[in-house]
Amino acid sequence: MKTVLIPTKLSSVAREALEAHGGYQVYQEAGADLMELAKSHPETYALIVRSEKVTEDVMEAFPSLKVIIRAGAGYNTIDIAAARKRGIDVMNTPGANSNAVAEEVAALMLADARHLIPGDASVRQGLWEKAKFMGREITGKTLGVVGLGHIGRLTIKRLSGFDMKILGYDPMISSDRAREMGVELVDLPTLFAQSDYITLHIPANAATTGIINRDLISGMKEGATLINCARCEVLVEDDFRALKEEKKLRLLNDVYPKDAAGDKPIADIADIMLPHLGASTLEANENAAKMAARILVEFDEKGITSYIVNRDIPEGLDEAYGVLAYTLAALAKGLAGADPRIKLLESSVYGELSQFSDWLVVPMVTALNPDFDRSLDHKAALGVLQDCGIDYVGRDVDNQKGYGNSITVDLSVESGQGQLSTISVRGTVTEGQIMVSRIDAFEKLYFDPQGHTLVFSFADRPGVLGTIAAAVAEAGINIDDVRNPHDEQGEASIAILKLNQAAPQELVDAIAAKIDAKLAASVFVQS
């Protein structure tokens, strides 16, 4: 029998399910010190935790530990690198808490619109201030949902009874998938300008930290309400603070830099504050418990690894090719334009890499969707694409073409009136360096795509490269490298300029107009 420890206040259904299975001896001691538990249960095979910190010292105290399951989505309290070093698989239970968060958003909106919190306090004081607490109805208003993942979609479903117009922003969602959800896809400025209520459902990462800033907040409707049950890092609090009174904005908040008692810097601008209660329901606790038990059994009996969050690259694969797959997908996405609506991802994996073709889809999806955790597996990656309405095709390859160990990534995106356009890139690794060898019909490029790159394609004629270079120089931007080949017919050219900084969109548009470019893009790729 395998010993499982549950040192947390988790629904007993996890313990009951594992014990009913018959292969596990389960000890549940909520609030017990992990180091003390290690002394009495050194044989522990698996830990199921919630917010407990599982450090390398804790892992060292459990010499037989092989699995740690976080009964919840976030796993920042677990040292996943130390776990991997010790051969311990760390898993989580994504989605178990999603409905609880969606319902919290609805609760916050209603509580604020009808002044439920101050109204309750007033009546308890013996007052009768009906005029003071004149409320608003949310029926018929416009709801903007930033992030259309599982929580965002559930929020829309829960609020659908209020006949709200739904605007959505999510670069990964296709227009067909959005229509199925009853959502009108728009860019962020449009969503902020037209919404009465804006709810955030995005993770905190390099792309999203500070994304809700002065530019977006200044465009909000007067009297609009922002709801943040996502992550505190995505909102620039000082920018909201500067505009709150002027625009009579409301802020409903449930997230903070640290989940602990003490003063909260957002207190002066938040109209409602909750102590991170998003996942705090009996049902969410039970869902997480059930899921934790199920994935442990599936892992042990069927080898299902979909929920492992500290996976290594496959044995025998050079890590550089994982970076290559990520980089090619990121480049293709950048070349497809701002917030492209992707319909189809296709890949061809050549040479000895073909045995790793399933795994290489994972870094591709990570590049397309920053929300996706690249430590998850191939099935999880395909699931994300399916949720977003994106088809995937892994093509059979002809290794006699002589491409060696290389990868081709094609993205088909909506280009207006339902038409599709395709961006195709191929690359390899040479002497440890990532190289892009082809973009569309332009071969033998061999440039490093990482960093800031400016790309134009145009009808071949003299003087165009000079025009581009002069405009870039006039903007005060240095050019570090240039590629300017023709296609096989000699009818079209591509100009690829590696820059020392990003080219502003207005510069890209101006150059594109001047040279009548067929493709114009400023791309930043950082693996």
Can you read off the two tokens belonging to residue 394? 């892994």
If you ran DSSP here, which 8-state letter would residue 212 be given? B
Q: What is the chain's pLDDT, residue by residue, as a tens digit (527 residues)?
A: 999 999 998 999 999 999 999 999 999 999 889 999 999 999 999 999 988 999 999 999 999 999 999 998 878 789 988 998 899 999 999 888 899 999 999 999 999 999 999 999 999 999 999 999 999 999 999 999 999 988 999 999 999 999 999 999 998 888 888 999 999 999 999 999 999 999 999 988 777 899 999 999 999 999 999 999 999 999 999 999 999 999 999 999 999 998 889 999 999 999 999 999 998 999 999 999 999 999 999 999 988 887 888 876 777 788 899 999 999 999 999 999 877 889 999 999 999 999 999 999 999 998 998 777 766 778 888 988 998 899 999 999 888 878 889 999 999 998 766 678 999 999 999 988 999 999 999 999 999 998 999 999 999 999 999 999 999 999 999 999 999 998 888 899 999 999 999 999 999 999 999 999 999 999 998 86
- Tokens 């201030």, located at residue: 129
| Burial of 394 per CB tally in 10 Å (0-12, 13-18, 19+) | middle
Picking from 235, 228, 234, 211, the residue whose alpha carbon sits closest to that of residue 278 is 228
DSSP string computed for 67-86: EEEESSS--TTB-HHHHHHT
DSSP 3-state assignment of 267? coil
Q: Judge whether 75 and 34 are in contact, CB under 8 Å.
A: no
Which fold would CATH assign to domain 2-95+283-302? Rossmann fold (3.40.50)
Q: Judge whether 482 and 456 are in contact, CB under 8 Å.
A: no
What single letter denotes the amino acid at residue 103? E
Percent of the chain with pLDDT over 70: 98
Determine the Cα–Cα distance for residues 448 and 425; give it in Å rounded to an integer. Answer: 13
Can you read off the two tokens belonging to residue 254? 């449930």
The alpha carbons of the chain give a radius of gyration, in whole angstroms, of: 26
Determine the Cα–Cα distance for residues 449 and 330; give it in Å rounded to an integer. Answer: 10
Domain ranges of the chain: 2-95+283-302, 98-273, 319-525
Determine the Cα–Cα distance for residues 312 and 296; give it in Å rounded to an integer. Answer: 19
Pairing of strands 142-146, 2-6: unpaired
Give the strands of the sheet with 451-459, arranged side by side: 479-483, 492-499, 451-459, 519-525
- What pLDDT is recorded for position 282? 94
- What pLDDT is recorded for position 441? 92
* Domain 2-95+283-302 shares a fold with domain 319-525: no
Can you read off the two tokens belonging to residue 475? 């903007």
- Tokens 């189809």, located at residue: 344
- Terminal-to-terminal C-alpha distance of the chain: 43
Determine the Cα–Cα distance for residues 12 and 95; give it in Å rounded to an integer. Answer: 19
* Apex 142 CA angle, 157 and 138, nearest 5: 75
- What pLDDT is recorded for position 348? 95
Determine the Cα–Cα distance for residues 108 and 483; give it in Å rounded to an integer. Answer: 54
CB atoms within 10 A of CB 106: 17
Q: Judge whether 285 and 10 are in contact, CB under 8 Å.
A: yes
H/E element, 49: strand 44-49
Helix axes 357-368, 319-335, angle to 10 degrees: 40
Q: Judge whether 246 and 269 are in contact, CB under 8 Å.
A: no
Determine the Cα–Cα distance for residues 64 and 70; give it in Å rounded to an integer. Answer: 18
- What pLDDT is recorded for position 315? 73
Q: Judge whether 3 and 43 are in contact, CB under 8 Å.
A: yes
- Tokens 């590629």, located at residue: 483
- What pLDDT is recorded for position 527? 61
What is the widest separation between alpha-carbon atoms in the chain? Answer: 86
Picking from 138, 350, 114, 107, the residue whose alpha carbon sits closest to that of residue 252 is 107
Picking from 290, 328, 304, the residue whose alpha carbon sits closest to that of residue 96 is 290
What digits encode the pLDDT tens for the residues 83-96? Answer: 988 999 999 998 88
- What pLDDT is recorded for position 317? 85
Determine the Cα–Cα distance for residues 269 and 54; give it in Å rounded to an integer. Answer: 35
Which residues 6+ apart lie within 8 Å of 363 measured at CB?
322, 323, 325, 326, 329, 374
In 176-318, beta strands by DSSP E:
184-185, 197-200, 225-228, 250-253, 272-273
Determine the Cα–Cα distance for residues 348 and 396; give it in Å rounded to an integer. Answer: 7
Picking from 48, 45, 49, the residue whose alpha carbon sits closest to that of residue 24 is 45
Report if pTM > 0.85: no
Is it true that domain 98-273 has CATH number 3.30.1280.10? no
- What pLDDT is recorded for position 219? 97
CB atoms within 10 A of CB 329: 26
Can you read off the two tokens belonging to residue 213? 């800033």
What digits encode the pLDDT tens for the residues 456-471? Answer: 999 999 999 999 999 9
DSSP 3-state assignment of 207? coil
Which fold would CATH assign to domain 319-525? Alpha-Beta Plaits (3.30.70)
Which residues 6+ apart lie within 8 Å of 212 measured at CB?
146, 200, 226, 234, 235, 236, 239, 240
Q: Which residues of 228-267 are buried (b: 16+ CB within 10 A; e: fewer)?
A: bbbbbbbbbbebbeebbeeeebbbbbbbbeeeeeeebebe
